[in-house]
Amino acid sequence: MVCADSFARIYGVYRAMQGELAYIFEFKKFLRKIFCIRTPAVILTLEKIYTNIGIISNQFDVKPGNSIYLTRVPVGLNISNETIGSVIDCLGEIKKESNTSRSYKFVKSNVPLDTKAIGIIGRSPINEPLSTGFAVIDTITPIGMGQRQLFIGDKGTGKTETAVSSILNQRERGDVFCIYVAIGQRTNDVVKFSKKFLSSDFELISNIASSVADTCTKQYLSPYTGCTIGETFAKAGAKNLIVYDDLTIHANAYRQMSLLLRKPGGREAFPGDVFYLHARLLERAGKFSARYDNGSLTALPLIETQLGDVSSFIPTNVISITDGQCFFDAKLFKDSTRPAVNLEYSVSRVGANAQLEILRELSKGLKKRLAEFRHHAKYIHFMHELAASTQNTIYTGLQTIKFLNQDLYEDSTNQKFQSFLIYFILNRDILKIKNVKSFKKDLLSKFRQSNIY
């Protein structure tokens, strides 16, 4: 056995399977007693005379001469009532207990992490909306149940906060099971979001946490753990929302694994199968047919860019896999636009089919107004030289953007109120309103008191 950097090369192992769960045993003697330490691992590659394995546990002391036990089953996890609402790792071991006391029908044991996606016969068209609570996203780039919508942008542009707010917004529905997968995030951020989820009134949240201190094998397996939980619930007829935060770190962890295992590197030193790495993960999301009780798995993968460059290897891969993207602009974020979604580069290819019909019609007028504003916005520094109609277009566009701004974790709205708000923006003189934030707050409170909401 040769071990380094949470990987080991094992000699003398026969009939191993790729993706199989294995255990490395070490026997220690203390006070005339013999103790056995068991370290979980996964079979990664099979060579002619040796086998490469990845060690999952952070606390490992693997040495030459240790024994290895093959379980003859693929890496999997047990899904139980404790999984719901808890913070777990990639093998389903609970790090922090949940407060939920409900009993659910989707309870399974030894569910494999890497399975084949459901075929086209087992799927159905996307026709049900998933409300994020943000009017600009639900109107311009709507998301449907079973859609794969990419959140892409530079670091610090509010991608994670928007995705977490979308999870917390599902409390109003009460029937969407949410999964947040933290991949290689800072420990402080993992703890912060875990406390936010556990302190919320919404119990249908699971948090799969792998921090930057975890092994790259653990970071590699974490997204598949979350996807397996969501897919299991979806096959039982539940509606699910999963957030992968983020797949750039996942690809970097896989690149580190591949280089240590001496796989040949390609573009940006990524291995040749890095596209398949994310394709087989995201293809498992979708809207399923009556055979699976019309369940759905909606995926919100996050990708980090460098200086807004979406033409690099991993962003282009994930853009080609997903059904649309929301591009978060650093310039808009600095201008206090929340969420900082650049509507010029954002698109949703299938979400419009799931929108309310009235909101779909109103969004056409909103897109037209914002397009006119973007066309004239480059002349904003020469405002005094422009015609009165052009000035009115610019002022109206700026006021419209103020109406679409929303604070993160607050002001979550459904599509009925968003339809009312867009109708008000398009058919009333909004330039007369001075304090937009307080006006929207009063409007929302009155709307919630009515029977329409």
Q: What is the CA radius of gyration of the chain?
A: 25
| CATH number of domain containing 420 | 1.20.150.20
Q: How confident is the model at residue 101 (pLDDT cuts 50, 70, 90)?
A: low
260, 295, 417 from 208: Cα distances, Å: 25, 21, 33
User: Which domain-ending residue is among 74, 92, 125?
Assistant: 74
| CATH number of domain containing 59 | 2.40.30
On average, the pLDDT of the chain sits at 88
User: Which domain-ending residue is among 22, 44, 74?
Assistant: 74
User: Which domain-ending residue is among 74, 91, 121?
Assistant: 74
| CATH number of domain containing 253 | 3.40.50.300
Residue scoring higher pLDDT (121 or 382): 121
266 with 367, same domain?
A: no
Burial class (CB in 10 A: 0-12, 13-18, 19+), 424: middle
Q: How confident is the model at residue 412 (pLDDT cuts 50, 70, 90)?
A: low
Does the structure show a pLDDT above 70 at 31?
no
199 with 278, same domain?
A: yes
114 with 193, same domain?
A: yes
Q: How confident is the model at residue 118 (pLDDT cuts 50, 70, 90)?
A: very high
246 with 299, same domain?
A: yes
What lies within 8 Å, CB to CB, of 94 at 6+ separation is 82, 83, 86, 87, 88
pLDDT at position 268 is 92
118 with 251, same domain?
A: yes
Q: Region 62-66: what's the mean pLDDT?
A: 80
Does the structure show a pLDDT above 70 at 100?
no
Rounded Cα gap, residues 88 and 81, in angstroms: 13
Structure tokens at 400: 């419209």
320 with 369, same domain?
A: no
429 with 344, same domain?
A: no
Rounded Cα gap, residues 44 and 268, in angstroms: 22
Quote the crossing angle between the two packed helices 247-260 and 313-321, to the nearest 10°: 120
Q: How confident is the model at residue 125 (pLDDT cuts 50, 70, 90)?
A: very high
Contacts 24+ apart (CB under 8 A), 89-98: 89/208, 89/209, 89/210, 89/218, 89/222, 89/225, 90/56, 90/208, 90/210, 90/218, 90/221, 90/222, 90/224, 90/225, 91/40, 91/56, 91/221, 91/225, 92/225, 95/209, 96/194, 96/198, 98/198, 98/203
Query: Cα angle vertex 163, ends 251, 84, to 5°?
Result: 90
pLDDT at position 106 is 58
Structure tokens at 118: 């459901």
Structure tokens at 453: 């909401």
Q: Region 406-419: what's the mean pLDDT?
A: 78
* Cα within 13 Å of Cα(37), Cβ side: 13
Dihedral, 86, 90, 95, 97 alpha carbons, nearest 10: 20
pLDDT at position 201 is 67
Look at 124-138, 196-210, 362-376 and tell me which has the smallest mean pLDDT. 196-210
Does the structure show a pLDDT above 70 at 292?
yes
Q: Region 271-278: what's the mean pLDDT?
A: 94
For residue 301, list its beta bridge partners: 244
70 with 88, same domain?
A: no
180 with 327, same domain?
A: yes
Q: How confident is the model at residue 26 (pLDDT cuts 50, 70, 90)?
A: confident
Q: Which domain holds residue 224?
A: 76-355
Does the structure show a pLDDT above 70 at 430?
yes
Q: How confident is the model at residue 381 (pLDDT cuts 50, 70, 90)?
A: confident
CB 227 within 8 A of CB 242: yes
pLDDT at position 102 is 55
Encode pLDDT of 302-336 as tens digits: 999 999 999 999 999 999 999 999 999 999 999 88
Q: How confident is the model at residue 79 (pLDDT cuts 50, 70, 90)?
A: confident
349 catalytic residue (yes or no)? yes
Share of the chain above pLDDT 70, in %: 94
What lies within 8 Å, CB to CB, of 375 at 6+ separation is none
Rounded Cα gap, residues 382 and 172, in angstroms: 46
CB 68 within 8 A of CB 22: yes
Rounded Cα gap, residues 187 and 324, in angstroms: 30
Q: What is the pTM of this model?
A: 0.92
Number of domains within the chain:
3
Q: How confident is the model at residue 452 (pLDDT cuts 50, 70, 90)?
A: low
Encode pLDDT of 192-205 as tens digits: 888 888 777 677 77
pLDDT at position 453 is 58
Catalytic residue among 9, 123, 280, 349: 349
Give the range with max mean pLDDT: 30-34, 42-46, 64-68: 42-46
315 with 431, same domain?
A: no
318 with 416, same domain?
A: no
Encode pLDDT of 250-273 as tens digits: 999 999 999 988 889 889 999 999
pLDDT at position 159 is 95
295 with 325, same domain?
A: yes
pLDDT at position 221 is 94
Rounded Cα gap, residues 226 and 300, in angstroms: 12
Strands 296-305, 239-245: pairing kind: parallel
- What are the E-state strand segments in 75-175? 76-79, 87-88, 94-96, 108-112, 150-154
Three-class SS state of 179: strand
